[in-house]
Chains A and B, each alone.
Chain A
């Protein structure tokens, strides 16, 4: 590779910044498309182009070779600063991003989260001051001069932290500076429009003086560059940097000044923009969802068969066997990614239900699931047993056992559902399904009705009864009364069955269905379900126990106990640790929290259990966050654990804790005996949540055993 090719190939792709830029672009695009459905302005497309162009320039400044070489060459660094200060900010502002960005964000977030801040008069006053022309101009010029002083510039070249601060200062102050020039919001500007011409020209004078100093000073201003390039090389580089600052920099000020001048003297400049009414939208196009579901199930069935075959007949080394890698590394990781981003996609693509559907064609079920077993106890026990077996038999490490487990799953699903009607296996038995049901309470989407009014006038109830086109819900979820994702397999039967096209996958605020306790179709009130509370506790505490089983101090502790109690004791030690971790300790701690509330006479709940049942649901986000942090680590392992992995895991835990605390607080509001007592009610549960968070942080900080990948 020659030097030129090497330089052009030196892209410094920073994943977090790239992800943020893409996210902002998507939010803007979503809002822009939504806006166009209502009304279209003639300037719409140029605004979109300007905003996306601004983001592209930011990408170029931050991730291209300009960024890679900025500590080696002053001229490169200067070009980067030019893009950050004079190109990206005006383009972004020309995109008039307020409405598109607000429209693109979830409504609940804008209304509940941002709304009070956006309407806060004090904040608005601060904002007005920041973009007041004299203030914005002063801050921008001060920042430009200050950061070019040798003392500060050398600090930037020596410290990545201060380098970031410098870039942030340049970008922020440039946003403020360009604000009065671009005027991205409607309303009367604080100064007449013509004043922007001297505003820009004065900035150009400062820019010219600074760049002339670079070109003509005759001394190397920044010794760090001289160290690498030698004095003569650094002098040439500095002069080039000065020219870049001078010529393109001046153009960046002069062009808008000229445009403004023409605008002021041209009568066309005062013409109002015209709005074009959009024709009515065409009817919603329906995707062949059931067909897509069948295709996904078929693909998963093929993968399951391959895993079983390799598990039985392949090399019995987990990292070399599909049964050791596919289910434990990829399937689990991708399932939580799907839950986090969309919803319960695993149940949608479940291969077991495809097998049982085929079996039902030969053996149609005749029995009804026994009344006494219509609860989650079997599933909770099976989930607890699975968590124990995972540790006791090192399931991740045994392709043979994994193959048996999946085969057993197929047999159980087929046997249960060829005997009993409905989706009895999914609803009452399947521990994987229950894990997904509980976790999907935190998902950002839900299958639900679009308009309740349409359902009120419905006489046929096809969503639950079915019709000639589709069967109704096999889990007995009546859509108008369905709240949240609990027990929903995302099978889309109700979507297909609804003759009014009134059932769809719609976005919801994560965990919003945990905030209240309404009657839920086929589930009743969650606060009256001991079985559900037990299931939630197993799922939440299981996240921490399962992850703790991988870290060195816990493994050493297990080995210590093993050595102390003898060679046959390991399965018993694991059983005691796992079952106390997921059953005994959670039961005791949550009972203690509820007892503290009752003892202080703080909650309206009459019994201890009722209080536990209501509050344990608030722990779901934290438990799910721990599962995500753990399983995403495994998912990343085959590709080499990325640098920011621990940070990403901590962010997930942070989000889980904050959501848990929020849900807890909302439940406390409904449970407190008196107004303003909710904080006292929250204390024991918030303490428990913070303790779990601390435990999660400790686990993530310890070195993890990369199960299934390295031995």
Chain B
């Protein structure tokens, strides 16, 4: 029976996933999908990925130049998204440092044939999480371990006091 608890611990490795769809629009001959690694988006460094598909047959396009331009009332950040940089090699990846507020994102695609397509959307960036909220599992580990230890001692003492 104890094996069950050991195996259940294995399931911890099933966590950790990414890729939330933020935008899906047609731009010229392309269908553009923008993903972020986190949801909701928070101030700081954010990883974005772009999937570029042929609008006619849905096949991914890997040979275009993709540029992301983030604008708000005070700032502008322009980043070139590169193919093959993320785990999903069908996507163009870029990292942007954004602060809190509403941003307009413009995705510009330069096809090898010289065609330019553009699509726009707005993103809301929330405040950065306080460290306690961002790293709560690491802090929760200590009281959890202490509770387990207390339980461990309690069980051990009980075993000692029970006559055989």
Interface residues of A (CB under 8 A from B): 1-3, 5-7, 9-14, 16-17, 20-21, 24, 58, 62, 67-69, 71-72, 84, 92-93, 96-98, 101-102, 112-120, 123-124, 127-128, 130-131, 157-160, 163-164, 167-168, 171-172, 175-176, 179, 184-185, 224, 227-230, 233, 646-647, 650-651, 654, 657-658, 661-662, 697, 701
Contact sample, A vs B, 16 pairs, CB 8 Å cutoff: A7-B89, A12-B87, A20-B10, A98-B2, A98-B3, A113-B152, A159-B20, A159-B39, A168-B11, A168-B15, A171-B10, A175-B7, A228-B33, A229-B58, A654-B142, A662-B149
CB pair A172–B88 under 8 Å, yes or no, is no
Instruction: Determine if B113 is an interface residue (Cβ-Cβ < 8 Å).
Output: no
A179/B4 in contact, CB under 8 A: yes
Give B35's nearest chain A residue, CB to CB: A71
Contact B142–A657 (Cβ < 8 Å): yes
B19 at the binding interface (Cβ < 8 Å): yes
**Complex CA–CA separation, A5 to B135 (angstroms):** 37
CB pair A3–B60 under 8 Å, yes or no, is yes
A16 to B16, Cβ gap below 8 A?
Answer: yes
Cβ < 8 Å to A, chain B residues 1-45? 1-8, 10-21, 24, 33, 37-39
- Which residue, of B2, B37, B62, has the highest number of chain A Cβ atoms within 10 A? B2
Q: Quick one: which of B2, B10, B16, B60 contacts A6, CB cutoff 8 A?
A: B60
**Contact among B87, B146, B159 with A10 in the assembled complex (CB-CB below 8 Å):** B87
Q: A-contacting residues of B (Cβ < 8 Å)?
A: 1-8, 10-21, 24, 33, 37-39, 51, 53, 58-60, 62, 83-84, 87-90, 131, 135, 138-139, 141-142, 145-146, 149, 151-152, 155-156, 159
Cβ A164 vs Cβ B14 within 8 A? yes
Contacts of B24 in A (CB 8 A): 227-228
CA distance A191 to B115 in the complex (A): 69
CA distance A239 to B145 in the complex (A): 47
Contact of A62 among B13, B83, B145 (CB under 8 A): B13
Give Cα A92 to B11, complex, Å: 12
Q: Once the chains are docked, how many angstroms separate the CA of A158 from the CA of B39?
A: 8
Q: Which A residues are CB-close (under 8 A) to B4?
A: 127, 130-131, 175-176, 179
A172→B2 CA distance, assembly (Å) = 15
Q: Is the CB of B88 within 8 A of A12?
A: yes
B38 — which chain A residues lie within 8 A by C-beta? 160
Say how far A332's CB is from chain B's closest CB, in angstroms: 24
Of all chain A residues, the one with the shortest Cβ separation from B156 is A116
Measured CB to CB, the closest approach of chain B to A231, in angstroms, equals 11
Q: Which residues of B contact A116 (CB under 8 A)?
A: 151-152, 155-156, 159
Q: Decide: B1 and A127 in contact? CB cutoff 8 A.
A: yes
Task: Name which residue of chain B comes closest to A70, CB basis.
Answer: B17
Which B-chain residue is minimally distant from A67 (CB atoms)?
Answer: B17
- Most chain A CB within 10 A, of B38, B88, B149, is at B88
The CA of A3 and the CA of B51, in the complex, are separated in Å by 12
State in angstroms the CA–CA spacing of A165 and B159 once bound together. Answer: 36
